[in-house]
Amino acid sequence: MHVLILGADGYLGWPTAMYFSQKGWNVTAVDNYFRRNACTELDVGMLYPLPSLQERAQLWYELTGHEIKVIIGDIAEPEICRSLFTGTRPYNWAKDTSFTGLPEVIVHYAEQPSAPYSLLNYHYADVTVTNNLRVTNNLMFAVRDLCPTAHLVKLGTMGEYGTPNIDIEEGWIDIEHKGRKDTFLFPRQASSLYHTTKIMDTDLLWFGTRTWNLRVTDLMQGPVYGIDTYESEQNERLRTLFNYDEIFGTVINRFITQAIAGYPLTVYGKGGQQRGYINIKDTLQCVYKAAENPPDAGRLKIYNQIMETYSVNELAELTQKAARKAGYKVTINHIDNPRKEAEDHYYNPQHQGLLDLGVLPHYLTEESMLEMIRTVEKFRKNIRKDVIFRGIKW
Ligand code: USQ
């Protein structure tokens, strides 16, 4: 089986490439280095330097004998996107022009993933909208024209649903209206521009499945935390990137780093914001199980990819407790919320689908937090306090 991983240099992309590779899949890893370039441009201070994608693939090959083919290119360019399915490289500097054939599965992570980035100013809003929608549209047409039976696994986000005052179903809702019934996509109402682009790309692909019989799985994922996966434990240079800054760091990774740096935990507003969280190890299981279970042609399957829900206050308290065990005295600071979001709300998302496929969750515990603390503290001297909170408002 051949899988294309788009966005393979990102926080989730590289661990996903290794995961499929160790399962015996033929993996092609594609990226334009957007994330690492954005981190350099915005000077966000990653926790440790990152080897290039090619260097990591080489190291992986030396350790496991499994080859991960790397293609550096921007699939927002239609010709580059289509070349993934034809083997015709539109750029002549590619070292390896061999074509490894059409994929059975395409994992689509190739999007700008940060809510604060999307609202830095008009320029970054435009980059987010243009990149996320162009890439998805290019991909949809390339699959339709060149690889129509492939299973497209797209990373969505729980933030598409917002925080409605009713239970959140897994993607769909039955509605009875004036005596008639139908099934619709569950209502979406995002609270950032980034999340809004994810709603729009769901809509693009839902159009594609209805119109051209594509097969698509949309994984509505909550904020991810963690560093190591079982594959990266073989060598620390295989570790994924780690952000703790306000733009690219997700809340649990940020709190752990703040605890180690002696920076009061940055709880936004009242801290009653609830989200569904997932360990990076479980992201890999979920994407893999979803890939192994394609929908029929013309169907859009949707899973809520979370394992448990927490409020920000609960996360801060858990971090405080775990860090205390490691010898850190942590204070919790409620700061004016720079985001427009509900701080006190009902939240009950259903998330049974991926468990039914056999995903075995790693839950957030003091022990799992301590494990992360032990890893992050090795890089304590690299932590930059100036990038932790800059107050990107919307
Ligand atoms: N938060 C704080 N303090 C912080 C950082 C965040 O209180 O220092 C709060 C936020 O206000 C929010 C919650 O923690 O209520 C989660 O924030 P986050 O930054 O971890 O997550 P978010 O911006 O929603 O985005 C992240 C990923 C994104 C993914 C999304 C899943 O960056 O790619 O799509 O999580 S979800 O939130 O379910 O939509």
DSSP 27-63: EEEEE--HHHHHHHHTT---SS----HHHHHHHHHHH
Residues with CB under 6 A from ligand 1: 113-115, 157-159, 195, 221-223, 250-251, 254, 266-268, 273, 275, 312, 339, 341
Ligand 1 centre to CA of 221 (Å) is 11
Structural domains in the chain plus CATH codes: 2-387 (3.40.50.720)
The answer on pLDDT for 44 being more than 80 is yes
Active-site annotation, residues = 157, 194, 198
Inter-residue contact 91 to 80 (CB < 8 Å)? yes
pLDDT on residue 96: 58
The answer on pLDDT for 219 being more than 80 is yes
Please give the single-letter amino acid code of residue 328. Y
At residue 13, the 3 state secondary structure works out as helix
Query: Which protein residue's CA is at the shortest distance from atom 19 of ligand 1?
Result: 250
Pocket test for ligand 1, best of 35, 163, 202, 275 (most atoms within 8 A of CB): 275
Q: pLDDT digits over 298-321, tens only?
A: 999 999 999 999 999 999 999 999
Residues in CB range of 63: below 8 A, 6 or more apart: 234, 235, 238
Ligand 1 centre to CA of 10 (Å) is 17
Ligand 1 centre to CA of 312 (Å) is 10
pLDDT on residue 199: 98
Task: Give the pair of three-digit tokens for residue 365.
Answer: 């515990």
pLDDT on residue 89: 72
At residue 78, the 3 state secondary structure works out as helix
| CA of 190, closest atom in ligand 1 | 39
CA R_g for the chain: 20
Measured CA distances, 206 to 172, 201, 214 (Å): 12, 8, 9
Ligand 1 centre to CA of 184 (Å) is 26
Measured CA distances, 162 to 30, 55, 286, 367 (Å): 30, 39, 22, 30
Query: Which protein residue's CA is at the shortest distance from atom 33 of ligand 1?
Result: 113
pLDDT on residue 100: 80
Q: pLDDT digits over 340-394, tens only?
A: 999 999 999 999 999 999 999 999 999 999 999 999 999 999 999 999 999 999 9
Task: Give the pair of three-digit tokens for residue 158.
Answer: 């729980």
The helix-helix angle for 78-86 and 122-146 (nearest 10°) equals 30
Ligand 1 centre to CA of 250 (Å) is 6
Query: Which protein residue's CA is at the shortest distance from atom 16 of ligand 1?
Result: 251
Rounded mean pLDDT, 63-76: 95
| CA of 268, closest atom in ligand 1 | 7
Inter-residue contact 5 to 28 (CB < 8 Å)? yes
When mean pLDDT is compared across 91-100, 278-287, 289-298, 307-316, the lowest value belongs to: 91-100
